[in-house]
Amino acid sequence: MIILKRFYFRPIFYHYRTNTTTTTTKTKLNTFNIEYDPIKQSIIYPQELNLNNKNYSTDSWTNVNENILSRIGLNLHQQKNHPLYHLTNRLRKYFYQFYDQKKLSPKFSIIDNLSPIVTTEQNFDSICIPINHVSRTKSMNYYINQNTLLRAHTSAHQVDLIRSGLNAFLCIGDVYRRDDIDPTHYPVFHQCEGVQLFTKEELFIGNKNVLGDKDNLEIFGPNEQRDATKQEGHTLEAVKLVEASLKKTITDLFKTLLPNTSILNSRWVDTTFPFTHPSWEYEIEIDGKWYELLGCGIMEHRVLENSGLNKDHIGWAFGLGLERIAMIMYGIPDIRLFWTNDSGFLSQFVFDDSTHSIQYKPISIYPQCINDLSMWMGKTKIDPSDFYDLVRAIGGDLIEQVILIDEFYNPKNQRYSQTYRIIYRSMDRTLTKNEINMIHKDIEYHCKQQFGVEIR
């Protein structure tokens, strides 16, 4: 078994399409000075790529492209009211409830702003991914050069974060993998990594109610062998307690994220990852289909050693994909929608309380048409809900959204001004400019009649 296994059998043809394959001049594609040579049919990289204000030399491993590089820094999970922002808030809220009585602060630190540009050491070596492992290949990753790539998973930061002194954290961010684009796969997506470490005291004293007063319990024992249930060195009692903590944390998390309606059944499936042993996948059943939500396990002790810890800690880790969970949570049918700027999509997620539960309503495939309407009124302004009602009464289902975009008071003539943006869109055809103008004029007319306003 491998990590990143969804790539395994997907052939990937790395080509760059341009409209002008017949021309013999090199076409400059973008701001990163990456060029396409139509004769050699290959991409020519500059000697250095400037990313996040740092120069990276390119080499025979370089295989990033303009489209991928342009995603760096977009951080959808930090964009207010984006579905991934709401999910991130919900993860934050769930994990902040665990309190550390000694530190007098939440147990888990939440790190969501680390650069996705990492070294091969971080992405692979630090977490014990073998040197010839298939997940390292050029065909699965976006390399900037031989030693630098766009992280393929948030596990790339485990060791650095533990080294920085954290013993319980989430790490959330964008990850990059070469892949086809289809309704459930996209070459950039978002992950949340979770890690919790335990000392002997935390593990055994915290579980005194289960264990009774045994005071000879240890995390490590001299003659412990590696087998299906544990790593060499680990005692079975320590592993079982960490496993119980991990599984409870995850099951409770999904009970909160996907309350009763959607989860009928869930199961733990044994699996293998280079950085955990034993390892599991957590799956849930919805409408008779099983969905894999995350991978997790007991951290390989060598990962903790790489983080500078001795034989005094044991820990669990998990990694989950945000898009997949948000798709289930909100009923979003296509992963590409997370990248849309279409306000028909985004406006459905405008709410302050991220725990608010909604089901996404499919937007039309036909284009939007936007018309603004500005008007002067008297000393009392129009209640926006009255305006919305009027617009809907006239435009019916062709109205997708109405937004009050500007309002001010002019003290000189003692009048209010309001500007509304009306977004028209049909579910079954492209609207003509003419058709919309007629509806818009009708709205203006009725506005004058009903509210006595002056159209500006």
108 interacts with ligand DAH by CB under 6 A: no
CB of residue 251 to ligand DAH, shortest distance in Å:
16
Question: What is the DSSP secondary structure assignment for residue 239, as one 8-state letter?
Answer: H
Cα(201)–Cα(219) distance, integer angstroms = 10
Count Cα atoms within 13 angstroms, Cβ side, for 422: 26
Residue 4 interacts with ligand DAH (CB under 6 A)?
yes
Using the contact rule CB under 6 A, the part of the chain among 137-145, 204-212, 291-299, 399-407 near ligand DAH is 291-299
Please, which of residues 184-213 interact with ligand DAH by CB under 6 A? 193
Pick between residue 273 and residue 424 the one whose CB is nearest to ligand DAH: 273
- 276 part of the interface to ligand DAH, by CB under 6 A: yes
Between 322 and 453, CB nearer to ligand DAH: 322
Residues 6+ apart with CB under 8 A from 388: 402
Cα–Cα distance for residue pair 246/296, rounded to 1 Å: 8
H helical segments located in 32-156: 66-69, 83-96, 120-123
Among 256, 262, 77, 255, which residue's Cα sits nearest to residue 170? 77
Can residue 280 be called a binding residue for ligand DAH (CB under 6 A)? Answer: no
Q: CB-wise, 12 or 431, nearer to ligand DAH?
A: 12
Quick note: the x/- pattern for ligand DAH over 398-427, rule CB under 6 A, is: ------------------------------
DSSP single-letter state for residue 52: T
Distance from C-alpha of 128 to C-alpha of 130, rounded to nearest angstrom: 6
Segment interacting with ligand DAH, rule: CB under 6 A, options 182-190, 258-266, 273-281, 359-367:
273-281
Q: Does 174 bind ligand DAH (CB under 6 A)?
A: no
Using CB under 6 A, pick the residue from 62, 88, 123, 155 that binds ligand DAH.
155
Binding mask 293-332 for ligand DAH (x = CB under 6 A): --xxx-------------------xxx-------------
CB 158 to ligand DAH: min, Å: 7
Of the candidates 205, 203, 207, which has an alpha carbon nearest to the alpha carbon of residue 220? 203
Cβ atoms of 109 and 115 closer than 8 Å: no
Angle between helices 322-330 and 83-96 (to 10 degrees): 100
* Closer of 153 and 324 to ligand DAH (Cβ): 153
CA-based R_g, the chain, Å = 27
Tokens 């045994």 identify what position?
Answer: 214
Q: Which helix (H) or strand (E) holds 303?
A: helix 301-306
CB of 407 to ligand DAH, least distance (A): 47
Closest CB to ligand DAH among 317 and 332?
A: 317
> Cβ of residue 236: shortest distance to ligand DAH, in angstroms?
20
Contact 176, 152 (CB under 8 A): yes
| Residue window 335-374: x/- pattern of binding to ligand DAH, with contact defined by CB under 6 A | ----------------------------------------
Q: How far apart are CA 32 and CA 52, in angstroms?
A: 12
| Closer residue to ligand DAH (CB): 58 or 155 | 155
C-alpha span between 170 and 158 (Å, rounded): 9
Would you give the DSSP letter of residue 127?
Answer: G
Residue 153 is a binding residue for ligand DAH (CB under 6 A):
yes
Binding mask 233-272 for ligand DAH (x = CB under 6 A): ----------------------------------------
Integer Cα distance of 46 and 69 in angstroms: 14
Tell me if residue 2 falls in helix, strand or coil.
coil
β-bridge pairing 109-111 and 168-176: parallel
Structure tokens at 379: 């000393």
Residue 3 contacts ligand DAH per CB under 6 A: yes
| Region label for 293, one of left (φ > 0), alpha (ψ between -120 and 50) or beta (otherwise) | alpha
The footprint of ligand DAH on this chain (CB under 6 A) covers a number of residues equal to 14
The residue from 108, 220, 273, 349 that contacts ligand DAH (CB under 6 A) is 273
129 is a site residue for ligand DAH (CB under 6 A): no
Nearer to ligand DAH, 122 or 343 (CB): 122
Binding site for ligand DAH (CB under 6 A): 3-4, 153, 155, 193, 273, 275-276, 295-297, 317-319
